[in-house]
Chain A
Amino acid sequence: MSPDNAKVGVFICHCGKNIAGVINVEEVRRFAEKLPGVVVAKDYMFMCSQTGQRLIKDAIKEHRLNRVVVASCSPKLHEPTFRKCISEAGLNPYLLEMVNLREHCSWPHLYEPGKATEKAKALLKAAVERAKRLEPVKSVKIPVIKSVLVIGGGVAGIQAALDLAEQGFRVYLVERSPSIGGNMARVVKTFPTDDCAMCILSPKMSEVASHPNITLFTCSEVISVDGHVGNFTVRILKRPRHIDEEKCVACGACEEVCPVLVPDEFDLGMRMRKAIYIPFPQAIPRVYLIDTDKCIRCGMCAQVCERNAINFDEKPKELELKVGAIIVATGFEEFDPSPITEYGYGEYDNVVTQMQLARMLDPLGPTHGEILRADGKPAKTIVMIQCVGSRDHRFNKYCSSVCCMVALKHAQLIKLEHDPQAEVYICCIDIRAYRKGYEEYADRARELGVKIIKGRVSKVEEDKKSGKLKVYVYNVVLDEVMVIDADLVVLSSAMIPSRGTQDLAKILGVEVGPDGFLKELHPKLQPIDTKIPGIFICGCAQGPKDIPDSVAQGSAAAARAASLLSRGEITIDLIIPEVNEDLCRKCGICVRFCPFNALELPPEGKSVRVIELKCKGCGTCAAACPTGAIQLKHYKDEQILAQIEGILGV
Chain B
Amino acid sequence: MDQHFDPIIVAFCCWHCSYAAADLAGTSRIQYPTNIRIIRVPCTGRVDLIHIFKAFAEGADGVLVAGCLKGQCHYVDGNLKAELRVIFAKRILESIGIEPERLEMVFVSAAMGAEFASIIREFVERIRSLGPNPAKLKKHGQLKESTKSRE
Name A residues whose Cβ lies closer than 8 Å to a Cβ of B.
74-76, 100, 102-105, 107-112, 115-116, 118-119, 122-123, 126, 509, 511-514, 519, 531, 575, 593, 595-596, 616-620, 622-624, 632, 635, 637, 640-641, 643-645, 647-649
Closest to A625 in B: B48
Contact of A593 with B81 in the complex, beta carbons under 8 Å: yes
Q: Is B43 an interface residue (CB 8 A)?
A: yes
The contact string, 1 if C-beta is below 8 Å from chain A, for chain B 20-38, is 1011011101111110011
Which residues on B sit within 8 Å (CB–CB) of A102? 26
Contact of B34 with A575 in the complex, beta carbons under 8 Å: no
Bound together, the chains give a CA A511 to CA B75 distance in angstroms of: 12
Which residues on B sit within 8 Å (CB–CB) of A531? 16, 74
Bound together, the chains give a CA A123 to CA B8 distance in angstroms of: 12
Closest to A619 in B: B46
Contact for A76 among B20, B43, B75, B111, CB less than 8 A: B20
Query: Nearest Cβ distance between residue A80 and chain B, in whole angstroms?
Result: 14
Bound together, the chains give a CA A562 to CA B75 distance in angstroms of: 27
Which residues on B sit within 8 Å (CB–CB) of A75? 40
Contact for B22 among A103, A126, A620, A635, CB less than 8 A: A103
Q: Is B51 an interface residue (CB 8 A)?
A: yes
Which residues on B sit within 8 Å (CB–CB) of A644? 10, 39, 51, 54-55, 58, 60
Bound together, the chains give a CA A115 to CA B146 distance in angstroms of: 27
Bound together, the chains give a CA A635 to CA B43 distance in angstroms of: 10
Contact of A637 with B48 in the complex, beta carbons under 8 Å: yes
Closest to A101 in B: B26
Contact of A108 with B29 in the complex, beta carbons under 8 Å: yes
Bound together, the chains give a CA A487 to CA B12 distance in angstroms of: 60
Extra pairs beyond A595-B77, A637-B51 (6, CB < 8 Å): A76-B20, A109-B32, A111-B31, A514-B109, A619-B41, A622-B46
29 A-B residue pairs with Cβ-Cβ distance under 8 Å, sorted by A, are: A76-B19, A102-B26, A104-B38, A108-B30, A109-B31, A110-B29, A119-B34, A119-B37, A126-B37, A511-B110, A513-B111, A531-B16, A593-B45, A595-B77, A596-B75, A618-B43, A619-B46, A620-B45, A623-B46, A623-B47, A623-B82, A624-B81, A632-B46, A635-B46, A643-B39, A644-B60, A647-B10, A648-B8, A649-B58
Q: Quick one: which of B80-107 are within 8 Å of A by CB?
A: 81-82, 85
- List the 8 closest A-B pairs by CB distance, nearest first: A619-B46, A103-B26, A618-B75, A595-B76, A620-B45, A107-B26, A618-B43, A115-B34
Bound together, the chains give a CA A595 to CA B80 distance in angstroms of: 12
Contact of A104 with B23 in the complex, beta carbons under 8 Å: yes
Which residues on B sit within 8 Å (CB–CB) of A514? 109, 111-112
Contact of A635 with B41 in the complex, beta carbons under 8 Å: yes
Instruction: Please count how many residues in chain B sit with their CB below 8 Å of the partner chain's CB atoms.
Output: 49
Closest to B71 in A: A506
Contact of A623 with B48 in the complex, beta carbons under 8 Å: yes
Which residues on A sit within 8 Å (CB–CB) of B22? 103-104, 108
Contact of A648 with B59 in the complex, beta carbons under 8 Å: yes
The contact string, 1 if C-beta is below 8 Å from chain A, for chain B 113-131, is 0000100000000000000
Bound together, the chains give a CA A640 to CA B109 distance in angstroms of: 23
Closest to B43 in A: A618
Bound together, the chains give a CA A122 to CA B54 distance in angstroms of: 16
Query: Nearest Cβ distance between residue B139 and chain A, in whole angstroms?
Result: 10
Which residues on B sit within 8 Å (CB–CB) of A593? 45, 81
Contact of A619 with B42 in the complex, beta carbons under 8 Å: yes
Closest to A75 in B: B40
Query: Nearest Cβ distance between residue A98 and chain B, in whole angstroms?
Result: 9
Bound together, the chains give a CA A595 to CA B10 distance in angstroms of: 27
Bound together, the chains give a CA A115 to CA B81 distance in angstroms of: 34
Closest to B6 in A: A115
Q: Is B50 an interface residue (CB 8 A)?
A: yes
Contact of A107 with B8 in the complex, beta carbons under 8 Å: no
Contact of B41 with A648 in the complex, beta carbons under 8 Å: no
Contact of A637 with B29 in the complex, beta carbons under 8 Å: no
Closest to B55 in A: A644
Contact of A112 with B41 in the complex, beta carbons under 8 Å: no
Which residues on A sit within 8 Å (CB–CB) of B37? 119, 122-123, 126, 647-648
Contact of B20 with A108 in the complex, beta carbons under 8 Å: no
Closest to A513 in B: B111
Bound together, the chains give a CA A116 to CA B51 distance in angstroms of: 25
Which residues on B sit within 8 Å (CB–CB) of A648? 8, 10, 37, 55, 58-60
Which residues on B sit within 8 Å (CB–CB) of A649? 58
Contact of B34 with A116 in the complex, beta carbons under 8 Å: yes
Contact of A74 with B23 in the complex, beta carbons under 8 Å: yes
Which residues on B sit within 8 Å (CB–CB) of A616? 75
Bound together, the chains give a CA A509 to CA B75 distance in angstroms of: 8
Bound together, the chains give a CA A617 to CA B43 distance in angstroms of: 9
Bound together, the chains give a CA A575 to CA B27 distance in angstroms of: 28
Query: Nearest Cβ distance between residue A264 and chain B, in whole angstroms?
Result: 36
Bound together, the chains give a CA A341 to CA B22 distance in angstroms of: 39
Contact of A107 with B29 in the complex, beta carbons under 8 Å: yes
Closest to A640 in B: B51
Contact for B39 among A112, A118, A126, A596, CB less than 8 A: A126
Bound together, the chains give a CA A556 to CA B80 distance in angstroms of: 36
Bound together, the chains give a CA A467 to CA B10 distance in angstroms of: 65
Contact of A641 with B50 in the complex, beta carbons under 8 Å: yes
Contact for B72 among A105, A512, A637, A645, CB less than 8 A: A512
Q: Given known contacts A108-B117, A110-B29, is B39 in contact with A640 (CB within 8 Å)?
A: yes
Contact of B51 with A641 in the complex, beta carbons under 8 Å: yes
Which residues on B sit within 8 Å (CB–CB) of A624? 81
Which residues on A sit within 8 Å (CB–CB) of B23? 74, 76, 100, 103-104
Bound together, the chains give a CA A624 to CA B88 distance in angstroms of: 13
Which residues on B sit within 8 Å (CB–CB) of A643? 39
Bound together, the chains give a CA A514 to CA B114 distance in angstroms of: 13
Bound together, the chains give a CA A296 to CA B34 distance in angstroms of: 70
Bound together, the chains give a CA A600 to CA B28 distance in angstroms of: 44
Bound together, the chains give a CA A75 to CA B15 distance in angstroms of: 10
Bound together, the chains give a CA A105 to CA B23 distance in angstroms of: 10
Contact of B45 with A619 in the complex, beta carbons under 8 Å: yes
Closest to B28 in A: A107
Which residues on A sit within 8 Å (CB–CB) of B74? 509, 511, 531, 618
Contact of B32 with A595 in the complex, beta carbons under 8 Å: no
Query: Nearest Cβ distance between residue B116 and chain A, in whole angstroms?
Result: 10
Bound together, the chains give a CA A622 to CA B45 distance in angstroms of: 9
Closest to A506 in B: B71
Bound together, the chains give a CA A511 to CA B77 distance in angstroms of: 14
Query: Nearest Cβ distance between residue A359 and chain B, in whole angstroms?
Result: 35
Which residues on B sit within 8 Å (CB–CB) of A104? 22-23, 26, 38
Which residues on B sit within 8 Å (CB–CB) of A107? 26-27, 29
Which residues on A sit within 8 Å (CB–CB) of B43? 618-620
Bound together, the chains give a CA A483 to CA B31 distance in angstroms of: 47
Contact of B51 with A112 in the complex, beta carbons under 8 Å: no
